[in-house]
Amino acid sequence: MSAPVDRAAPPHQDARNPVLPGFHPDPSVCRVGEDYYLVTSSFEYFPGLPLFHSRDLAHWRPIGHAVDRPGQLALDGVRPSGGLYAASLHHARGRFHLVCTLVDGLQQDGTFLLTADDPAGAWSDPVWLPGAPGFDPSLFFDDDGSAHLLGTRPTDEEGRTEIWLRGIDLDRGVLTGEEHVLFRGALVDARWAEGPHLYRHEDHYVLVLAEGGTEHDHAVTVARSRRLTGPYRNNPRNPVLTHRHLGIWHPVTGAGHADLVRTPAGDWYALLLASRPYGGGGHANLGRETFVARVVWEDGWPVVNPGSGRLEESTRIALPPHPWPEPGPVDHFDAPELGPHWSLLRTPRAAFHSLDERPGHLRLRLLSQTLAERVTPSFVGRRQQHADFTAEAALDFAPAAPGEQAGLVAYYDPDHHVRLLVDGDGTGGRVARLTVRDGGRDTVRAELPLASGPLVLGAVARGQQYTFRCGPADGAAPELGTVDGRILSSRHAGGFTGCHLGLYATAPYPTATRADFDWFRYAGA
């Protein structure tokens, strides 16, 4: 009798969800060898379309943005939650290809194609595809080498849509051949069948799409066909994933918009979005986040997280762990450029921030453009990623007159944000002022006279209670007030984004005054 063979278990890990916390919706993923690359939506924020790299589907590091040059496309004047919608990322023919839709652009809008040899390098200028109506485009490369473009377009004013497909000549950037309508939704009277992705599995073309709208009723549905152009048969087990039946009090809601990826060993996973509401009533200040789930195939259909059928706090992934170095909580502004976690609003046409005019500081010019407008204000922000957090900034700022303001903000959109700003008091001094903007109306909640010298401004959130502080850098920072943070959620304000914490400077007239931030600290509690 031979001795038993000692077979080590394959390497695996438990990925903690969400794998990309904070405002990272509509993930699209592709694999190149042992490497995985992912893009998410960015809407009105610049740089646009953030890109991430992973070796294990659990740990993702930012590697840049596909839209990072003002000359690539125009986000000027884009409405809140307009701009760059769901992109789709692919690698084929030795290059990376990304298709996306610019929604409600004032200079140009519609579907476009970007390409790159290296996703962390420079991406091309957009090739616009005027023959591609609607939104949520995706590419599919068939086994014969042909390329095809899928898209979503409305068919009425009630949210009904259809998924269409045409050939695409990637070298010339034009659509080719006949258009085919593939699917109009899995469920009776389906609304917002969108976000299509197409795969080959065994002898079928498998169409995975989002359905039900991107809020509480979101879902993942599936159809398949033996022919690329259809007809596509509805999966009798649809939806294959949803949390709509779990109620608005469930810790994770709005699960949907999945993209599938296969590992070299043949295991399948889904990257998809969901939200984590807190504070009661479905308020998800962090926006829609990226989660990972396991996928197996039964009878030729995908099954998501078999045994539970819902998103879990952690997902077992059959890949060896590959964490990246974690950045520290403090940005000392001593790098030559802002890190990839920082965002601006819309396309910056003139430089309003500097990291070299005063080394070791982020210097902001005071612009007349404000957070209450659809413009590019002097604002640099980062995503809120925790329900409980501390955000602090060190500010050196001497306003010359009333109206010259700088400080810390919690921002959702032009009509919903909180500003803790230092302002001139009209007598040569200065004052800290806490202002809440809700529904487009400003309410001053508190004021505090300030002595001269550097300051520390802070926001501490415990759930939906955001407490703001301001005081001298070498002393205690007294509280100015606590704000109900539910105004910073899509449930209250509408839209598709998430709360940002940021630095801001403004004045109603041209001025030589500048605001210098020595450091910014963000940490989850």
- In sequence order, which residues have a C-beta less than 8 Å from that of residue 401 and are 6 or more positions away? 424, 426
C-alpha span between 480 and 421 (Å, rounded): 11
Cβ-count burial 192-206 (b if 16+ within 10 Å, e if not): bbbbbbbbeeeebbb
- In sequence order, which residues have a C-beta less than 8 Å from that of residue 126 and are 6 or more positions away? 72, 73, 112, 113, 114
311 secondary structure, DSSP code: -
| 220 touches 258 (CB < 8 A) | yes
The pair of structure tokens assigned to 89 is: 């990322």
Q: Residue type for 172, please?
A: R
- In sequence order, which residues have a C-beta less than 8 Å from that of residue 524 and are 6 or more positions away? 385, 386, 388, 389
Cβ-count burial 126-154 (b if 16+ within 10 Å, e if not): bebbeebbbbbbbbbbeeeeebbbbbbee
- In sequence order, which residues have a C-beta less than 8 Å from that of residue 285 and are 6 or more positions away? 278, 384, 387, 412, 464, 485, 486, 488, 489, 498, 499
C-alpha span between 186 and 212 (Å, rounded): 10
Torsion of CA 120, 124, 127, 132, to 10 degrees: 0
Cβ-in-10-Å burial (0-12, 13-18, 19+) of 53 comes to middle
The catalytic residue among 56, 109, 136, 194 is: 194
Task: Quickly list H helices, 18-142.
Answer: none
Residue (of 115, 112, 121, 111) closest to 53 by Cα position: 121
| 430 touches 495 (CB < 8 A) | no
Cβ-in-10-Å burial (0-12, 13-18, 19+) of 419 comes to buried
Left if phi > 0, otherwise alpha if psi is -120 to 50, otherwise beta: which for 402?
Answer: beta
| 516 touches 396 (CB < 8 A) | yes
Half-sphere exposure of 287 (CA within 13 A, CB side): 27
Is 26 annotated as catalytic? yes
Q: Residue type for 158, please?
A: E
Torsion of CA 272, 277, 282, 286, to 10 degrees: -80
Q: Is 491 helix (H, G, I), strand (E, B) or coil?
A: helix
Residues designated catalytic: 26, 194
